[in-house]
Amino acid sequence: MSTRLAQGGRLLNKDRTLKFTFNGKHLKGVEGDTLASALLANDQMLVGRSFKYHRPRGIVASGAEEPNALVGLGKGARFEPNQRVTTTELFDGLTCESQNHWPSLEFDVGEVNSKLFARFLPAGFYYKTFIHPRPFWKHLYEPFIRQSAGLGKPPRRGDEDSYEHFYAFVDVLVIGGGVAGLQAAKAAGEAGARVLVMEQTAHWGGRAPVDGGEVDGQPVDKFVDEIVAALEEMPNVTLRNRMMGAGVYDHGYVLGYERVTDHQPEAKGPRHRLWRIRAGQVITATGAIERPISFAGNDIPGVMLASAVRDYAVDYGVSVGDRTVVVTNNDDAYRTAITLKKLGLEVPVILDARASGGGRLAEEARQMGIRIETGKGIAKVKGGKRVEGVAICAQAGEGAVLEEIKCDAVAMSGGWSPVVHLWSHCGGKLIWDEAQAHFRPDVDKAPTGDAGEAFVIPAGAANGALDLAGVLADADAAGRAAAKATGHSPKSAAAPVGKAVEEAAIEPIWLMPQGAKVQLRMKAWLDYQNDVKVSDIQLAAREGYESVEHAKRYTTLGMATDQGKLSNINGLAILSDALGQPIPQTGTTTFRPPYTPISMSAIAGEAKGPLFQPLRKTPMYDWHADNGADFEPVGQWRRAYCYPKRGESRHGAVNREIKQVRDSLGLLDASTLGKLIVKGPDAGKFLDMLYTNMMSTLKPGRCRYGLMCNENGFLMDDGVVVRLDEDTFLCHTTTGGAEAIHGHMEEWLQTEWWDWKVYVANVTEQYAQIGVAGPNSRKVLEKLTDDDIGPEALTFMGFKDITIAGVPVRCYRISFAGELSFELAIPASNGRAVWERLIEAGAEFGVTPYGTEAMHVMRAEKGFIMIGDETDGTVIPQDLGLGWAISKKKDDYIGKRAQERKHMADPKRWQLVGLETVDGGVLPDGAYATAEGTNANGQRKTQGRVTSTYYSPTLKRGIAMGLVLNGPDRMGEVLEFPKVDGTVMKAKIVDPVFYDKDGEKQNV
C-alpha cells in the first residue's frame, strides 16, 4: 500500500494540513502536495477507469505526461473535467471525483462487460463491426457506444473565473526551468539579452535535485538555489513558474499558459493568463520523459515509472509500496532502487533486461544488498485493482515463469525520450539516436524564421544530453548561441561543470519478454488512456496500416488528452518491428500544440460576458434603451427593431409605428449608415468608376442615389451620394458596408489608381443621423430652426446646412419611407440632445420613434430594394429593374465588363417584381415559385423566389418582392409558392411599387 513516510518530502511543509475530498471521501494532505502525492499518501491507488475497457487505473507518472489519473475537479461553475492529478497542486477544500466509471469506481459495469467481450474489441473494432447495416449506426450502435465511452463530463454551468491575455516581447525565451533552462537563461542574460524563462511546475530545477549529482563540486540542489537567486537579481531576466510553453509558432511566436490562481482559487486575479510572446530565439529546455515498458499487466495500479516512484519518495515523502520491484533496461532506474532502500523500504529485486547488466549504479545497489537479476524481465504483473506480485521470466524467452515475487509496486524504466514537442511544433526535424534509443532534435534542421534562420535551440535533456555534465554544457552553449543570434555578445565566463555517476548503455526493450505470446501482448498496454495494446498495433500493421499516422488513427494510439506522451515511441517501435523496418523509417506522428491541454477560457481571455464582442452603440442608444426599444443586432451595432409599448407585440408596435409615420411623424436613428468623405481633383472620376451611375455630373448641394458593384458585376452596396463642394463628395453606404466600402475604395486607390488625386476618410461616427419622416416632418423642423427649409429653399434630393436648437446640422431632403422626409446629420456629441428636442417638439404631432422593421416595411411598400434582401451576392442591378441607375454614357465602371458577359445579359435571369398574395396573407421569406416538371435530380422546377415579404399595415395585406423568370413581362399572372407545411400560397405578379407610385407624398 502507498503511504506517507515519516521522513523526506523536500517540497512539503508538513506543518500545514490541507483537507480535500475524492469521490466524497474526506482526505488530508499537506502544503506542497500535488493532488497525486496526496492521493498516494492516503493509499488511493485506484484513481480512474480506462476509456474503452474500464480497467482500473492508478497514477503512472509524476508530471505532465500522466495518462491515467484524470479527475473532475471542483464543483458547479468551477467544475473542470480531465484534470491531471500530477499537475494539480493541492489546496485546502479541493474536491474532485474520478471519471469514466459506473456505478462506482470500485465496481464498474463496463469492466465486467470488457472482461466478457474484450476479445471483440481489437483495433478498428468500431470501423469493422458497426458499418453495416447503415441505419443501425445512428440508432443503435452510436448511442450505445457514447454511453460507455468518454472521459470527463462537460461542465454544466458557465465559467465564473476571469482570464486574460498578455503580450510580451523578448530576445530569448527559455521554455523549461530545469538546470538546463536556468543555465541557458543565465548565459543569455549575462550577454545582455532580454530573457523570459517559463517553468510549468511551481518549482525550479526540474529533476536534478531528485536525481542528484554535483555542479562545480557542490550538490546540484544548492546550484539550483544559487542560479535562481542570481537570475532573480538580473533586471533583464524574468522567471515565471506555473507557466507552460504551450506552442511554438511561426516567426518566434510562442503561447505561454500561466496558471495564476489554480493553486489558490480564492485569491484575487485571473485564473489563467495566456501569454502571447514574440521571441527572437526560443530555447526548448523541456527535459525528457521516461518510457514505460510493455509487459503484461503494466497498467495495474501500482505499476509506475521508476522516476515517478523516486519523485514521490524524495519530493513528497510518499512511498508507493513497501515492496517495490524495479524493472529496467538502463542504469537510471537503479537510482529509484537506491533511493527506496535508503528510505528503509524493500526492493525485492531489480530486473535488468540487459544481459550485461548495469554500471556503477548497479554496483552501488548490489553493495546495498539489493538482489539484481540481469537478462530478466516481467512475464506478467499479478493483481487486479492493485499490484500483488510479479512473475519473472527471461527477457529473451516467450514468458515462461521462472519465479513469482510478492510486491505491491513496480517501478519501470524503458529509457528516456527527450521532450521534442515544442521543437517540432513549427517544423523542427528529429533524428533517431541509436545509442540512447530515442528521437532527439536534428539541430541542423531547426524551425526557421522569415529569413530562413533557425529560431529554436534545444538544450539539455531535450536535446538528448542525459547526464548532468552534458546538460549544463549544452545549455550554456544554447544560451550563448541564442544571445548571439539576437545581437548580443556572450561573455567568456566558463560554464559550470556538472558531475554525475557514469552510466552503462541502455538496451532498447520494446516488448517484455521479447517473444511474448499473444495472451501477454493483449495485456501489454502502450496507450493507457485510450486502451491501446501491443497486439492492436501489430494487428494494424498486419491489416496494412503502414504509415504511423494511419496506424495512430486506426488504433487511437496517442490520440487522448495526453497525446501519447508515454505511448508514442513504444508504439512506433512495435509498429516498426511488425513492419520489419528500422524505427527512423517509421518516424513519429506530428507534434501539435498545445503541449498539454489548455483551458478554453484562457484562449478566450477577456472575451466573455459583456466583453464577448464589442457592441457598437449610437449616440442615441441609451435613449432607445430607456424608452423600451427592442434591439436587433446589425453587424456589431445594436439598432432598435421597434419600440413596443406595454403589452404591445412586436408586430403591433411595427404596425403602429408605420401608421404614425404615414399619417403624421416618426423619427429613425440612422446613425449607423456609413459616411465616407471622398475628396480631391479626381474624386468625381473616381466615383464614376465606383458607382454604376454618373457621379461627376452631380451639382454641389445635390444628392444622388447610387449603386456600387464588385468586379464581378454583382451589386454590393447602395446609398445616397452628396456633393458637398466641387472637390468633395460624401458617400453614404449601408450600415454593414461602411468599413468594407472604405476598404474597397482604399484598395482601388492604393493598388490600381495610385496616381489619382483622391483622399478618403471614414466619418461614419462623426455624425448622429436622424431620419425625420412623415407629412408633419417639415413642420416639426420649422419649430426648431430659423433657417428656410421650405419646398423651394430645400428641394427633394437637396441639402442645406442649418441650425437646430443651436446645433449646426446638415439637413438632407431625401426619403426612404416614401413620405416627406429629411435626414439630419448632427455632430455625434449633440445627437441625443437634438433627438430629444425633436421628440419634444413633435409631441403635438404624436411623434413616434420607429425602428428598423418599420423602416424595412415602408421601403418595401415603396418598392425600394434592400442590400442583403434583394441582393445576395449573385444579383446584378439589371435584375432589379435598376437599369435607370446604370449610366450608358460612361466608358467604364467597376463591374461593367462582367455585366456584359453572356450569362449576365441573359434575358432569362430572374427579374424583380412585386408579389401580391391572392388571399391577402404574408408569403414566407425565401419561398420559391414552382414551375411545371422536375429537374434531373427529381426536384420540382422553380421560376422565382421571394426576396422580401411583409405585412403592410398601409395596404392591410401581405406584400412581397421577388425575383421571377421573365417577371416584368408577366404582370397579373398568379404564381404558386408551396409552404413548408405542404399548403400552397398563390400570389399575383404586380409592380414592385405598392404605395404612392407617383411619389406625390415625398414631393410636397
Site residues for another protein per CB under 8 A: 162, 164-169, 194, 235, 238, 267-270, 273, 276, 278, 605-607, 610-611, 613-619, 636-637, 677, 679-681, 757, 759-761, 763-767, 805-807, 827-830, 832-834, 837
For another protein, the closer of residues 734 and 830 by Cβ is 830
In angstroms, what is the minimal distance from the CB of 601 to another protein?
14
Taking the complex as a whole, the smallest distance from the CB of residue 827 to another protein amounts, in Å, to 4
Q: CA 507, CA 329: separation in Å to the nearest integer? A: 6
Shortest gap between Cβ of 695 and another protein (angstroms)?
A: 18
What is the closest distance, in whole angstroms, from the C-beta atom of residue 196 to another protein in the complex? 8
- Residue closer to another protein, measured from CB, 458 or 605: 605
Smallest distance, another protein to C-beta of residue 452, A:
24
- 3-state class (DSSP) for residue 427: coil
Q: How far is the CB of 737 from another protein (least distance, A)?
A: 16
Minimum CB distance to another protein, residue 270 (Å)? 5
Nearest distance from C-beta of residue 613 to another protein, angstroms = 7
Residue 837 beta carbon to another protein: minimum distance, rounded to whole angstroms: 7
Which residues are CB-neighbours of 396 under 8 A, at least 6 positions away?
Answer: 355, 375, 513, 514, 515
Q: Of 95, 73, 100, which Cα lies nearest the Cα of 84?
A: 73
d(CA 916, CA 331): 89
Q: CB-wise, 189 or 818, nearer to another protein?
A: 189
Using the Cα atoms of residue 544, residue 546, residue 549 and residue 551 in order, give the sign of their dihedral.
positive
**Nearest C-alpha neighbor of 994 from the set 906, 935, 917:** 917
Q: Would you call 742 helix, strand, or coil by DSSP?
A: helix
Please answer whether residues 335 and 361 qualify as being in contact, where contact means their C-beta atoms are separated by less than 8 angstroms: yes
Question: Is the Cβ of residue 296 or residue 807 nearer to another protein in the bound state?
Answer: 807
What is the distance between the alpha carbons of residues 996 and 489, in angstroms, rounded to a whole number?
82
The answer to whether residues 231 and 272 touch, using CB atoms and an 8 Å cutoff, is no
Q: Are 28 and 18 in contact (CB under 8 A)?
A: yes
Cβ 605 to another protein, closest distance in Å?
A: 8
929-950 burial, b at 16+ Cβ within 10 Å, e below that, comes to bbeeeeeeeeeeebbbbbbbbb
Yes or no: say if 621 and 609 are a contact pair by the CB < 8 Å rule: no
Give the shortest CB-787-to-another protein separation in angstroms. 15
What single-letter DSSP state applies at residue 522?
Answer: T
Residue 312 and residue 58: Cα distance in Å, rounded?
A: 14
**Residue position matching grid coordinates 446645433:** 807
Strands (E), 329-484: 350-352, 372-374, 376-383, 387-394, 403-406, 409-413, 416-418, 430-433, 438-441, 456-458
Closer of 6 and 600 to another protein (Cβ): 600
Residue whose entry in the numeric block shows the C-alpha cell 437599369: 883
Give least dist CB 724 to another protein, A: 10
Q: Which residues contact 611 (CB under 8 A, 6 or more apart)?
A: none
Cell of 69: 489519473
User: Cβ closer to another protein: 291 or 837?
Assistant: 837
Nearer to another protein, 655 or 762 (CB): 762
How many Cβ atoms from other residues are within 10 Å of residue 234's Cβ?
Answer: 15
> Residue 164 or residue 543: which is nearer to another protein going by CB?
164
Cell of 170: 523578448
> At its nearest, how many Å lie between another protein and the CB of residue 795?
27
Closer by beta carbon to another protein, 606 or else 900:
606
Shortest distance, position 203 Cβ to another protein, whole Å: 19
Among residues 270 and 863, whose Cβ is nearest to another protein? 270
Question: Least CB distance from residue 455 to another protein, whole Å?
Answer: 17
Grid cell 532498447 is found at: 508
For residue 146, how many other CB atoms are within 10 A of its CB?
A: 9
- Closest distance between another protein and the C-beta of residue 829, in Å? 3
Indicate the residue among 269 and 920 with the shorter CB distance to another protein: 269
Residue (278 or 979) nearer to another protein, CB: 278
Q: Based on C-alpha coordinates, what's the Rg of the chain?
A: 38
CA distances from 387 to 45, 115, 307, 409, 467 (A): 10, 18, 18, 6, 32
Cβ atoms of residues 307 and 336 within 8 Å: yes
Q: Largest alpha-carbon pair distance within the chain?
A: 114
Provide CB contacts within 8 A for 333, sequence distance 6+: 306, 326, 327, 350, 411, 412, 413
Q: Is the peptide bond before 681 cis (omega within 30 degrees of 0)?
A: no
Of 363 and 787, the one with the shorter C-beta distance to another protein is 787
For 979, the grid coordinates are: 409552404
Separation between Cα atoms, residue 95 and residue 983, nearest integer Å: 58
The total number of residues written for the chain in this structure? 1004
Residues 6+ apart with CB under 8 A from 386: 1, 45, 46, 58, 300, 301, 302, 408
Least CB distance to another protein at residue 168 (A): 6
For another protein, the closer CB: 53 or 275: 275
CA angle 643, 647, 651 (to 5 degrees): 55
Cell of 884: 435607370
Give how far Cα 768 sits from Cα of 672, 774, 983, Å.
8, 20, 46
For another protein, the closer CB: 634 or 974? 634
414 three-class SS: coil
**Angle CA(409)–CA(410)–CA(415) in degrees, nearest 5?**
150
**Among residues 504 and 839, whose Cβ is nearest to another protein?**
839
Closest approach, Cβ 536 to another protein, in A, equals: 45
* Nearest to another protein of 19, 276 (CB atom): 276
Alpha-carbon distance of 524 to 520, in angstroms, equals 6
Q: Compare residues 528 and 767 and give the one whose CB is closer to another protein.
A: 767
